Amino acid sequence: MPYVNAPFNYTSADPNQVAIDLDNANNNFTILANAFKNNSPDTGIVKIAEKANSVGDFIPSQTPQANQIPVLDANANLILPNTSLIQTTTHTFRRVDLTNATADYQLAVGEEAIINFTNATSVKLNIATQNGTVYELHLIPSNIGGTSGGYNSPIYLNPNNTTYSNWFYYVDYYINTYSYYNTYTTYSSFRIGWGFSSIYCVITNRTVYKNVKGYYDVYGVTYSYPWWAGFSTDWLDTTTAWTSLGTIIFPQSTSGQILVRRLV
């Protein structure tokens, strides 16, 4: 029934007029009640006003939950309810913890993986990769410098979690407390560091150009530290697909963190 203005029109001419007027009045009350949130005037919230405070039926909130729109705080910062989101003064990005991963994870562009490790000689990254991707990697060890007595041997990244005999050409320029040197040699995987090293590198996966380049600071060998090196390693095989970012191999037990962020 439609809404009826002035529903009470009782005259003695129609013996059913009282019933008709009461029906119209009850219908009017129902229509009015339905104009409120939850169909109840007790809420004090008119539905059209509720709609005005929402976008597509989603309500904004400074304490975001599912199906709500997050609102900036008084300092114009986004309040993040998800601890896997990392917020800085300039941007926000998602971090996924792959410390206990058992299968390869596909990072989205801009997404970052963190892997914590303790007393390890190998750390599998569990990151899927494919032609056309680029990453940056930070290896942040926690071992004590100098007194740790690190071995004088390379740190490797084994793509696809394996080695390929002498397919990797390595070049570097390094400086230590005695002098400066350069190296040009071949390996069976990417060389990315030495002994105990703090490492930064960019990883490029192109079928025709597979490369890891960056720099590292050697601080845990039995002599001559600090030792800084800039390096580049090319995987000269242009047919083998690089599908798993790989495993990092240490010459001795190492602890710390690895951060890998996909750039492209």
141-191 tens-digit pLDDT: 998 776 455 678 999 999 999 999 999 999 999 998 778 889 999 999 999
Q: Answer yes or no: are the C-beta atoms of 141 and 117 closer than 8 Å.
A: no
In this model, does residue 81 exceed pLDDT 80? Answer: no
Highest mean pLDDT of the ranges 27-41, 139-153, 209-223: 209-223
Q: What is the pLDDT of residue 231?
A: 98
Cβ burial 192-214 (10 Å sphere, 16+ → b, else e): bbbbbbbbebebbbeeeebbbbb
CA 37 to chain centre: 39
Tokens found for residue 247: 């495993």
Highest mean pLDDT of the ranges 15-19, 37-41, 64-68, 197-201: 197-201
> Taking the domains of the chain in order of start, what are their residue ranges?
1-53, 85-262
Q: Pick the more confident residue, 37 or 249.
A: 249
CA 62 to chain centre: 22
Among the residue ranges 55-59, 83-87, 260-264, the one predicted with the least confidence is: 83-87
Q: What is the pLDDT of residue 83?
A: 46
Looking up tokens 């697909």, which residue turns up? Answer: 241
DSSP 8-state code for residue 132: T
End-to-end CA distance of the chain: 61
Selection from 74, 96, 99 nearest residue 85 by Cα: 96
β 180-187/190-194 pair status: unpaired
Q: What is the pTM of this model?
A: 0.69
Q: What is the pLDDT of residue 190?
A: 98
Task: List residues bridging with 251 in a β-sheet.
Answer: none
Residue 82 — very low, low, confident or very high, per pLDDT cuts 50/70/90? very low
